[in-house]
Amino acid sequence: MPVLSSAAGQVIAERTVEISARMSMAFAAAIGAVEEIYLDDAREGGIVAPPPFCVCLEWPIMFDPHCRTLTGTSDEEAWGGLHVLQDSTFHRPIRPGDRLRTVGRITHVRGTRAGALTVTKLTTTDAHSGKPVVTSWLHTIFKGLYVDGGDRPGETGAALKKLEAPASRADRREQIHLPRTLPHAYTECTGIWNPIHTERKVAQRKGLPDIIVHGTCTWAIAAMQTIRYAGGDPNRLQRFAARFEAMVIPGTDIVIDLTRDPANADTIQVAVENAGGQIAMADGIAEFSAEYSLSQGSLSPTSRT
């Protein structure tokens, strides 16, 4: 079946959401962001959402039925689309009480050997002022599908530099266990539902060995470890981007490799290996501002239950 090239340049949908403490803290809990700045809404200055929270605003746009209409994909084909890259720029922190507007636009459609590639730009702005909050680029491959109407190249976001294998040169390696129930909790705390992440019968029917962890979940967990490595201030993170490659099975361990860019101490290269030693998240890049906006004391893990 084809993916329609006429989708390029088209707006998928727009959505305005008022951010609540419940939404923000649920996302933090799902990805293990246990610091007070994410979970203690009684702290002086309140809480901020973990930067990867942006996916909670973006994926309802990607799941909008109009996206399937534009691309010409069936429900089954849409569920089979592979999220292969996420590149997010954070213009300012997200806080409870914010009213945010997210608009998704397909910018690029072309054929690849693996299938049809679409690129979507998701722009989140303050609904009152119009000022930017987050800008994300999502790349999706529809395996085995071709492009109807010829390639329609357009904006794809900044290119990710191909990085060397990280294990032999990483400054820090963090091993993290992902509970078997993580995809279920992440699904309910984010609203990002695809049955291949929670229903083994569906995953196996799709040719997968088991349910798999959401790419955005692995991305978010890696982002939080990177923020901790960089000193713990989430407001310093300006960009986090990576490609998704090998799958991650819940109930196993991942290893996050973190390496400071020798040319810029505020840039950290990130990679994630799955339990089989395969690269699950490649060419990761985290860019931080040079200034801290919060004291270390306000970033400690919460002692509240």
Residue 222 to residue 255: CA distance in whole angstroms: 9
Which has the closest alpha carbon to 191: 13, 70, 301, 27?
27
Asked if residues 152 and 108 have their Cβ atoms less than 8 Å apart, the reply is yes
Phi-psi region of 69 (alpha: psi -120 to 50; beta: other; left: phi over 0): alpha
Note the pLDDT of residue 296.
Answer: 40
**For each of the chain's 305 residues, which pLDDT tens digit applies?**
799 999 999 999 999 999 999 999 999 999 999 999 999 999 999 999 999 999 999 999 999 999 999 999 998 888 778 999 999 999 999 999 999 999 999 999 999 999 999 999 999 999 999 999 999 999 999 989 999 999 999 999 998 988 866 556 789 999 999 999 999 999 999 999 989 999 999 999 888 999 999 999 999 999 999 999 999 999 999 999 999 999 999 999 999 999 999 888 899 999 999 999 999 999 999 999 987 665 444 454 443 33
Note the pLDDT of residue 303.
Answer: 37
Give the list of residues 6+ apart from residue 23 with CB closer than 8 angstroms, or none: 49, 53, 56, 96
Note the pLDDT of residue 298.
Answer: 45
Q: Which strand (E) or helix (H) includes residue 274?
A: none
Amino acid at 16: T
CB neighbour class for 292 (10 Å; exposed up to 12, middle 13-18, buried from 19): middle
Single pTM value for the model: 0.93
Residue 301 to residue 61: CA distance in whole angstroms: 33
Give the list of residues 6+ apart from residue 180 with CB closer than 8 angstroms, or none: 250, 251
Note the pLDDT of residue 166.
Answer: 57
Asked if residues 187 and 229 have their Cβ atoms less than 8 Å apart, the reply is no
